[in-house]
Chain A
Amino acid sequence: EPEVTQTPSHQVTQMGQEVILRCVPISNHLYFYWYRQILGQKVEFLVSFYNNEISEKSEIFDDQFSVERPDGSNFTLKIRSTKLEDSAMYFCASLDPGLKSYEQYFGPGTRLTVT
């Protein structure tokens, strides 16, 4: 069964460094999302992406964040200058608009640790 994949599974970085989290959505999906989950807390929406542009973003998604679909398969989240409070699990999700369920399929996540 097709699934969303994410790399790396765990990223450790120093405060102030740039990180890029990578996702490969399910191949025929057209809508892409990033969510984050701080340890022990709920999953929070960051951004949605469709037709090569951001369709919606949350207050969390400030100028330090950016997303890109650099080719036909990858979807990336970049954090320009990481802060301690960026430590969290980051989940990518994708959606096939052809499915009536409109289900967002989640990847396994990347654990980002900022030291």
Chain B
Amino acid sequence: GQQLNQSPQSMFIQEGEDVSMNCTSSSIFNTWLWYKQDPGEGPVLLIALYKAGELTSNGRLTAQFGITRKDSFLNISASIPSDVGIYFCAGRGGTSYGKLTFGQGTILTVHP
């Protein structure tokens, strides 16, 4: 099946620093999504990308859909303590209503 490799697995940063994480796949995806999961909660969508090459921002978050359609990155600028959580990339390869394939997650810790 489709596999997503997400890196890094974890990051420990100081408040104010920028963060970058990425996902790669051996398969092509039609949609790339980035989710954040807080402890004990379900994933919450941060950014969705629908076209190869697309660069989209949501506040301090910026994500890009790779040209090859096999990769995506997420940047967080000027991190704050509430950015702490687990960030997941997810890809959708089939129809717009199809299943999501998730990466392994990046655990982000922000030290004040």
The answer on a CB contact under 8 Å between A104 and B40 is no
| Interface pair B100/A104, CB less than 8 Å apart | yes
Which residues of B lie under 8 Å from residue A108 when comparing CB positions? 40-42
Binds B, one of A13-21, A41-49, A65-73, A79-87: A41-49
CA distance A44 to B100 in the complex (A): 8
Q: Are B99 and A58 in contact (CB under 8 A)?
A: yes
**B-contacting residues, A24-45, CB 8 Å:** 31, 33, 35, 41-45
Shortest distance from the beta carbon of B2 to any chain A beta carbon, whole Å: 10
Q: Are A97's CB and B48's CB within 8 A?
A: no
A-B CB pair tally, cutoff 8 Å: 56
Given contacts A42-B88, A102-B31, contact A107 B42 (CB under 8 A): yes
**What residues of chain B lie closer than 8 Å to A50, measured between beta carbons?**
97
B81 proximal to A (CB < 8 A):
no
The interface-forming segment of B14-22, B58-66, B70-78, B102-110 is B102-110
Tell me how many residues of B have a C-beta within 8 Å of chain A.
23
**Residue B82, interface by CB 8 Å:** no
- Whole-angstrom distance from the CB of B54 to the nearest CB of chain A? 13
Q: 25 interchain pairs (CB within 8 A)?
A: A31-B97, A35-B100, A42-B88, A42-B104, A43-B43, A43-B102, A45-B99, A45-B100, A45-B101, A48-B97, A48-B99, A50-B97, A91-B42, A93-B42, A95-B97, A102-B31, A102-B92, A102-B97, A103-B48, A104-B45, A104-B100, A106-B42, A106-B43, A109-B40, A109-B42
Question: Residues of B at under 8 Å CB distance from A?
Answer: 1, 31, 40-45, 48, 88, 90, 92, 94, 96-105
